[in-house]
Amino acid sequence: MQIQKLVLITSLLAFSSASLAEPKGPRMFDRADTNGDGYISLEEFSTPPKDRGHPADADGNGEITRAEISQHIAERGAEMSERANEHFTKMDLNGDDVVTREEAKAAAFARMDKDQDGMLSKQELKRSHKKHSGKRKRDHDQ
């Protein structure tokens, strides 16, 4: 029950602050800071428009009920479990239900080696770094 409360609070905070946490970062902040004092007061703070909503708002009315957040968590949990299993299967090269360091290394290399030439170019490394550093930031922000 405590975890559900924490997820609910976190989701509601993310819902409320989503308009400020967009990739446009500083521009969004500057627009929200209408008096230019470098801070966003409660009066300046706004939530995203109703049409942008939160994925947990199943009926789209701009409000999240406990039932909606519980349903959202259950759906996300199932999605995450499915993706984790798919990822594990890809990494488990010999199919023994154990991912060794060598298999994890080979799987990571294969994901990065887009042209599958057995070598990583600067471009492939750069692309992979951008993709994963952005994902870590998104995961941390959620």
Side chain identity at residue 132, one-letter code: H
pTM for the model:
0.44
Tell me how crowded residue 65 is: count the other CB atoms within 10 A of its CB. 13
- Given a contact cutoff of 8 angstroms between Cβ atoms, the answer to whether 107 and 91 are in contact is yes
- Say which residue, 96 or 135, is predicted with more confidence: 96
Side chain identity at residue 58, one-letter code: A
Rounded Cα distance between 90 and 9, Å, is 35
Rounded Cα distance between 99 and 116, Å, is 22
Tell me how crowded residue 136 is: count the other CB atoms within 10 A of its CB. 10
pLDDT, one tens digit per residue, over 43-102 is 887 766 655 677 888 888 878 899 998 898 888 888 888 999 998 998 999 999 999 999
pLDDT, one tens digit per residue, over 42-58 is 888 776 665 567 788 88
